[in-house]
Chain A
Amino acid sequence: MIKKMVKEMKRDILLCIAAAALSVIASYAAYLWAPPEATMGDLYRILYVHAPAAWVCYLAFFISLLASIMYLSKRKKGYDRIAEVSAILGLVYGAVALVSGSIWAKAAWGSYWNWDPRETTTLILWIAYMGYVSIKLSIGSIEKRAVIGAVYNILAFSTIPLSYLSIMLLPTLHPQIATPTEIFMTPPMATTLFLSLIAASLFFVYLLITAFTVWSLEDRVNALIYEKGGILTGNV
């Protein structure tokens, strides 16, 4: 038991160090190494923060979807917990993507919010997942909350392709940096973006593991208090 805990702790520390080191390298590349873009100049560097935040937001909701599907098929509490923590982290990254996108929009298009298809569909996505978190917070029965949450989560995921494909299917101001077959960037820019995506993903994985551990330990504390005959407050 203790050996397993020490092993997990070592893994988490290594993951955190790797994410931090890669983030430093990615930041150096983003702010100093990558050349300014031909028309937007240095403003283009926002991309190296904005795109990873949006990517991790999609990744988090995808993991949340998988965990919800697994919960519905296996009915194991751990899957429901992964779905929940991943969705909450996805909302954090989604908020950063929305805010950074708005700052870019103000500088590039003159207004913070333009009701552009990408902006609008990303906001819909974010609100849909806020609904998921609201469901998880508002239903008292643990079993009911998990099942309804999982079904809602699967439905909410339909907003991801809507957001992703919006710039391909609708007229938009949002720049398209890549298609599944082509990338519209110079090699140093593409390398910087790739590094930023990997660094952000690693850091997200670390946060996901830590958040999952915190949620699990909260259950353990509640169980111990219950065993001792104490009153559960729901907030230890």
Chain B
Amino acid sequence: MYEVFLVSIIYWTTLLVVFVWLSRRLAYLKEKIADLEVGMGEEEKKGEEET
């Protein structure tokens, strides 16, 4: 019976690792895009003020 347990652990651990990695990556990228877009918006405002 331990083989069944071992196989289940391997299956669920693998899927969990993929799931967590993708979720963390998704959150990081969304944050990064928000930061970059805010930065670009500020630069555009500065440019408009200078002209």
Contact = CB atoms under 8 A, between A and B. Distances in A.
The DSSP consensus for interface residues of chain B is helix
Contacts of A224: 33, 36-37, 40
Nearest to B1: A42
Interface in B9-40: 10-11, 14-15, 18-19, 22-23, 25-26, 29-30, 32-33, 36-37, 39-40
B22 A207 contact: yes
Interface residues of B, number: 25
Interface residues of A, number: 34
Given A107-B3, A224-B36, A100 B11 contact: yes
B42 to A, nearest CB: 11
Contacts of B4: 31, 42-43, 45-46
The DSSP consensus for interface residues of chain A is helix
A46 B32 CA distance: 42
Contacts of B18: 89, 92, 207
Contact of A203 (B3, B15, B36): B15
B13 to A, nearest CB: 10
Contacts of A227: 40
A221 B35 CA distance: 10
Nearest to A203: B15
Nearest to A16: B19
B10 A213 contact: no
Interface in A182-236: 203, 207, 210-211, 213-214, 217-218, 220-221, 224-225, 227-228, 236
A103 interface: yes
A103 B6 contact: yes
Interface of A: 27, 31, 42-43, 45-46, 49-50, 53, 89, 92, 95-96, 99-100, 103-104, 106-107, 203, 207, 210-211, 213-214, 217-218, 220-221, 224-225, 227-228, 236
Interface of B: 1, 3-4, 6-8, 10-11, 14-15, 18-19, 22-23, 25-26, 29-30, 32-33, 36-37, 39-40, 43
14 contacts: A42-B1, A42-B4, A45-B4, A92-B18, A95-B14, A96-B14, A207-B18, A210-B19, A213-B26, A214-B25, A224-B33, A225-B36, A227-B40, A236-B32
Top 7 nearest A-B pairs (CB, nearest first) are A217-B29, A224-B36, A100-B7, A210-B22, A45-B4, A107-B3, A49-B11
